[in-house]
Amino acid sequence: MISIKNLFEIGYGPSSSHTIGPAKAALYVKEKYTFAVYFKIILYNSLNLTGEGHATKESISRYLPDATYELKKDNKKHPNLFYIIPYDSNMNELDKIEFISVGGGLLLINGSPLIENDVYKETNFKDIKNYCINSKIGLYEYITKNEGDLSYMDEVFDVMISEVRDGLKKDGLLPGVLKVSRKAKALFLEEPEEKRNLISAFAYAASEENASSNLIVTAPTCGACGVIPAIVYYLYNYENVTRKLLIEGLIIAGLIGNIIRENATISGAVGGCQAEIGSATAMASAMLTYINSGTLDMIECAAEISIEHSLGLTCDPVRGYVQIPCIERNVLAALRALDCASLAKSIYKNRKISLDTIIKTMYQTGKDLKAKYRETSLGGLALNWGDDEFNCW
Ligand code: SF4
């Protein structure tokens, strides 16, 4: 299992699979073929169908401005498959590189991970738990023992705080054709003493920054990036939880997300929104449980409940924009993470489902979802959104 650092990528929204991943691929090709003057990009399936709202072309053009695009659909191929073909000045094709954006900004290049080496021997929660019990160490010690230097998480923490802080200051409409208004600031001012209202405002703030293609941290993806920062920001500013403890909590969250990525998926295009928002909820509730001195069993229980009750959640962003239903979904997931952490404290002794079992179930469910419910904007709300007369955005 690879490092948790790759789960917390710092980059520009609105979609880790559709912006951060393709941007990394473009940079890779630019650096490898410095003499190439022209590029052809072939985008398949989800990258093709939600490309406009997900700003895929804008991300690639940061590094490869001289490119043309071909859009293709083939349900037998991976939903986030794309090719980059570099050409020299005589229009000779220099290569044809296959990329698959597997979620959270992670890439497969010609079938192999771009940069990643395994840093963990254990790959599921059961083995990790047994290792911790046998070695008489806690989950945090287990992670740091395997990861080594995690000072990168300081920057992750800072960006999470700044994305919420920046989002709270802004008014107006989000970019794109949906004309969705920002809600974070108004909500924040509405009931500034009420915990759930504040956490909702903070989740809006981070998600609205993502929807505006601003700098965010994937947690574990761009689309689900508002859940964890909302809770971190609240605990830091309103409950005086220390930066050190919050970073430890983020590291615990990272391990949970990592186990999900290893055994299932964190990509909406592969597993539906249960894989993105469900994973973020599990990570957030595990983080909260750790910060509240919860045991290993409580942490597992909180993460398990979070996924269990996100099962089947479809990915149907309207017109491909990571706005409807994505932003509100982050808000509700942050609140649900509070509830899952709270419930886990009471029920963990009598639970019947393990975290590993629910992850396996989520993955199977995701594979059974029709393609129209996996980040293609061809089904669900993406299909029906125009039916309503009222103009709430
Ligand atoms: S519906 Fe969920 S999975 Fe799909 S783009 Fe929005 S947040 Fe991501």
Q: How far does residue 273's CA lie from ligand 1's centre (Å)?
A: 5
Cα-only R_g, the chain:
20
Mean pLDDT across the chain: 94
- 326 in contact with ligand 1, CB cutoff 6 A: yes
Q: What are 297-335's pLDDT values in tens digits?
A: 999 999 999 999 999 999 999 988 999 999 999 999 999
Compute the average pLDDT of residues 94-111. Answer: 90
Pick the CATH number of 15-113 from 1.10.357.10, 3.40.50.720, 2.130.10.10, 3.30.1330.90: 3.30.1330.90
Band the pLDDT of 115: cuts 50, 70, 90: low
Q: Single out the residue of 177, 172, 166 nearest to residue 209, CA to CA.
A: 166
Peptide bond into 220 cis (omega under 30): yes
Q: How far does residue 314's CA lie from ligand 1's centre (Å)?
A: 8
Q: For a pocket test of ligand 1, which of 174, 321, 375 has the largest count of ligand atoms closer than 8 A to its C-beta?
A: 375
Band the pLDDT of 393: cuts 50, 70, 90: very low
Q: Over the chain, what HEC string results?
A: CCCHHHHCCEEECCCHHHHHHHHHHHHHHHHHCCCCCEEEEEEEHHHHHCHHHHCHHHHHHCCCCCEEEEEECCCCCCCCEEEEEEECCCCCECCCEEEEEEECCEEEECCEECCCCCCCCCCCHHHHHHHHHHHCCCHHHHHHHHHCCCCHHHHHHHHHHHHHHHHHCCCCECCCCCCCECCHHHHHHHCCCCHHHHHHHHHHHHHHHHHCCCEEECCCCCCCCCHHHHHHHHHHHHCCCCHHHHHHHHHHHHHHHHHHHHHCCCCHHHHCHHHHHHHHHHHHHHHHHHHCCCCHHHHHHHHHHHHHCCCCCCECCHHHCCCCCHHHHHHHHHHHHHHHHHHHHHHHHHCCCCHHHHHHHHHHHHHHCCHHHECCCCCCHHHHHHHCCCCCC
Provide, rounded to the nearest whole percent, the portion of the chain with pLDDT above 90. Answer: 83
* pTM as predicted: 0.91
Q: How far does residue 224's CA lie from ligand 1's centre (Å)?
A: 7
Q: For a pocket test of ligand 1, which of 329, 362, 374, 377 has the largest count of ligand atoms closer than 8 A to its C-beta?
A: 329
**pLDDT of res. 46:** 86
**pLDDT of res. 13:** 87
Compute the average pLDDT of residues 224-245. Answer: 98
Residues composing the chain:
393
Q: For a pocket test of ligand 1, which of 15, 276, 323, 372 has the largest count of ligand atoms closer than 8 A to its C-beta?
A: 276
Q: How far does residue 89's CA lie from ligand 1's centre (Å)?
A: 40
**pLDDT of res. 390:** 57
Q: What are 125-145's pLDDT values in tens digits?
A: 999 999 999 999 999 999 999
Q: What are 147-166's pLDDT values in tens digits?
A: 999 999 999 999 999 999 99
Domain locations along the chain: 15-113, 125-386
Other C-beta atoms lying within 10 Å of the C-beta of residue 12: 19
Lowest-confidence segment of 75-89, 112-126, 189-203 by average pLDDT:
112-126
- 222 in contact with ligand 1, CB cutoff 6 A: no
Band the pLDDT of 389: cuts 50, 70, 90: low
Q: Which amino acid is at 275?
A: A
- 268 in contact with ligand 1, CB cutoff 6 A: yes
Compute the average pLDDT of residues 350-377. Answer: 96
Provide, rounded to the nearest whole percent, the portion of the chain with pLDDT above 70. Answer: 98
